[in-house]
Amino acid sequence: MSDTPRSAFLKAVRFDAPDYVPMTFKINDACWRHYEPDALLELMDRHPFLFPADERSPDPTHPSYENVARRDEPFTDDFGCVWTTAEDGITGTVSTHPLADWENYASYILPDPAERSGTGSIDWAAERRTVERRRAEGKLTVGKLRHGHTFLRLCDLRGYQNLMFDFADDAPEISDLIGRLEDFNTGLLSRWLDLGVDVAKLPEDLGMQVGPMLSPAHFRRFVQPSYRRFMEMARRSGAVVHMHSDGDLRDLADDLLEGGVDVLNLQDLVNGIDWIASRFHGRTCVELDIDRQTVTAHGTPEDVDRLIREEVERIGTRQGGLMMVYGLYPGVPLANVRALMDAMERYAFFYA
């Protein structure tokens, strides 16, 4: 195996025959309270391909929960949105929307991207040192907007129902707010791109269990123009454009690809393996988000193995175009966790 994780990633994106299918396994912080920590540590030790030593936290059993993921500690972010969660480690939801009433808008001030990320302070000098260190070590470098940077941020500020009426009414305030929010996000993204990162990540959930959270027409009118400009910035800098979205994206996929996505991270069974294979196989790189609702949570270890093999066979190619990621959350049987790790390591080399 000659490819490094960085070269395998870039080759998969460019359909340049990587040595293996890049695989990522993320253990949510809440898992360390729900599983026996030693059992998780043993699984990590047994799967060094998924958990390379130089990327592991020194002590993952004692995570530092994000400020938006702390039980019984409501958090007010840089935009004035109040977040609450019932579970340490699980990102909460916004319970107070600072612009629920447009009367508050005249005095509303957005944070400064030179100092704030959206959920807290950001030290750009420290970020530069991190990027330079990783580059010197031959590792992938990534810059990203906060998850939920545009559409979901508008939901956080206005509330979902208010926002849907804003779109339907073409409220003058909403267009102004979108422009100001784009300026904030552009300020963040431009700073990441100035650091010369390999990948620009633009994560934002747009889908529900069935269908998108907003109509395709409203997406094109209010959201896509910002997306397109973000992607143009990234592509001009030479960065790979990586778009993540949970939920059913089938009605928005063409619009996302038209905007300039290089890698689309989307959920497998929500969108359907048949549809994903027919739409992307051999044409656009997919980072497949492995099922967390049915097979891995309620199936057998054999079901888990079959799922991973089928997805690698049907969506990947020898030339690349496929990466896979799984996020472990409490409730998945450990036998299935083990089977999933085994399968991801086994089928990563399916085309080798």
Report the alpha-carbon distance of residue 122 to residue 113 in Å, rounded: 8
∠46-50-6 over CA atoms, to 5°?
Answer: 145
Give me Rg for the CA atoms of the chain: 20
∠162-165-170 over CA atoms, to 5°?
Answer: 120
Instruction: Examine residue 132 and state whether it is found in any structural domain, yes or no.
Output: no
On whether both 88 and 112 belong to a single domain, the answer is yes
On whether both 110 and 244 belong to a single domain, the answer is yes
Q: Domain containing 228: what range?
A: 80-118+142-194+198-261
CA distances from residue 206 to 46, 248, 256 in whole angstroms, order as listed: 36, 8, 11
On whether both 33 and 180 belong to a single domain, the answer is no
CB-based contact 225:170 (threshold 8 Å): no
On whether both 287 and 164 belong to a single domain, the answer is no
On whether both 272 and 250 belong to a single domain, the answer is no
Report the alpha-carbon distance of residue 143 to residue 176 in Å, rounded: 26
At 207, which amino acid appears? G
On whether both 204 and 237 belong to a single domain, the answer is yes
Each residue's pLDDT tens digit in the chain (352 positions)?
689 999 999 999 999 999 999 999 999 999 999 999 999 999 999 999 999 999 999 899 999 999 999 999 999 999 999 999 999 999 999 999 999 999 999 999 999 999 999 999 999 999 999 999 999 999 999 999 999 999 999 999 999 999 999 999 999 999 999 999 999 999 999 999 999 999 999 999 999 999 999 999 999 999 999 999 999 999 999 999 999 999 999 999 999 998 899 999 999 999 999 999 999 999 999 999 999 999 999 999 999 999 999 999 999 999 999 999 999 999 999 999 999 999 999 999 999 8
On whether both 105 and 218 belong to a single domain, the answer is yes
Report the alpha-carbon distance of residue 136 to residue 318 in Å, rounded: 29
Instruction: Give the predicted TM-score (pTM) of the model.
Output: 0.95
On whether both 305 and 177 belong to a single domain, the answer is no
Both tokens of 167, joined, read: 């779109």
Largest CA distance in the chain: 61
- Cβ partners under 8 Å of residue 75, min gap 6: 67, 68, 82, 83, 84, 92, 119
On whether both 316 and 295 belong to a single domain, the answer is yes
Instruction: Examine residue 124 and state whether it is found in any structural domain, yes or no.
Output: no
Q: CATH number for the domain including 232?
A: 3.20.20.210
Angle, helices 301-315/334-347, rounded to nearest 10 degrees: 30
How many structural domains does the chain have? 2
Residue where the block lists tokens 């888990």 = 304
On whether both 61 and 205 belong to a single domain, the answer is no
Nearest to 329 by CA among 66, 67, 91: 91
On whether both 251 and 111 belong to a single domain, the answer is yes
Nearest to 204 by CA among 244, 144, 156: 244
Instruction: Examine residue 135 and state whether it is found in any structural domain, yes or no.
Output: no
Instruction: Examine residue 130 and state whether it is found in any structural domain, yes or no.
Output: no
CB-based contact 51:108 (threshold 8 Å): no
On whether both 228 and 275 belong to a single domain, the answer is no
Instruction: Examine residue 323 and state whether it is found in any structural domain, yes or no.
Output: yes
∠233-323-193 over CA atoms, to 5°?
Answer: 20
